[in-house]
A = this chain, B = another copy of it.
Amino acid sequence: MLRSDITVAIRDAVMHELAEVGYGRLSIEAVARRAGVGKTAIYRRWSNKLEMVLEIVSDVAGRSVPLPDTGSFAGDLQLIMMIVSRALQHRIASQIIPDLMAEAARNPQIAETLQKALRTHQQAVGEKLVGSAVTRGELPEGTDPDLAVDLILGPLYWRLAVSRTKPDGAYLEKLMAAVTAALRSTAN
């Protein structure tokens, strides 16, 4: 039986190594060094770097956020923005996510895994959020859930993961108001 404490140490090392050097430069030897583990222990678990990273990342990403339901669109929106901005300000996540996103553009396996782990869940959240809001009469019928997701995640991702300036509370409020107005307007 493979020792679980060793497995945990490796998973942990992979995440940190991924954050520090990125997927492209991640080496099994460095992971082993960091985890305080022999290379053999790693190869006993996975047969190569890609498989290892995919398994570990999709596992972490799979522990996904529960669907929000606060009773009002404003509440749901605020909750989602809080959760996302928390996640994207996490030191490790904010390094790993853009790195893997970029890597996904050239590695179909990574793309597929990320897609499965993130996109699917996002769509579900978007549909739930918009659906409830529409039945509550807070958003016009025919509101596009995909557009909603883009409008919510896009600016946050851009600011937090790309231009990397910390948003204050006032910014988040403005953004919330703006997104709400944007979605309300899609009446036609």
Partner of A22, one of B24, B158, B179: B24
Q: Is the CB of A153 within 8 A of B158?
A: yes
Whether a CB of chain B sits under 8 angstroms from the CB of A58 is no
9 additional contacts, CB 8 Å, given A22-B106, A95-B102, A95-B105?
A22-B102, A24-B24, A98-B105, A99-B102, A99-B105, A105-B164, A150-B159, A151-B151, A154-B155
Which residues of B are found within 8 Å of A25, using beta-carbon distances?
24-25
In the complex, what residues of B have CB within 8 A of residue A180's CB? 185
Copies of this chain: 2
List the 9 closest pairs (A to B, CB-CB), nearest first: A24-B24, A181-B185, A154-B154, A154-B155, A154-B158, A178-B182, A182-B182, A98-B102, A150-B155
Stretch of A4-12, A66-74, A129-137, A169-177 that contacts chain B: A169-177
* A162 and B151 form a contact (CB under 8 A): no
Instruction: Kindly identify, within residues 15 to 32 of chain A, every residue whose CB is under 8 Å from any CB belonging to chain B.
Output: 20-25
Q: List 23 A-B contacts (CB under 8 A).
A: A20-B106, A21-B106, A22-B103, A95-B105, A95-B106, A98-B102, A104-B164, A147-B155, A147-B174, A150-B158, A150-B175, A151-B151, A151-B155, A154-B154, A154-B155, A154-B156, A154-B157, A154-B159, A157-B162, A178-B182, A179-B182, A180-B185, A182-B182
A101 to B106, CA, bound (A): 15
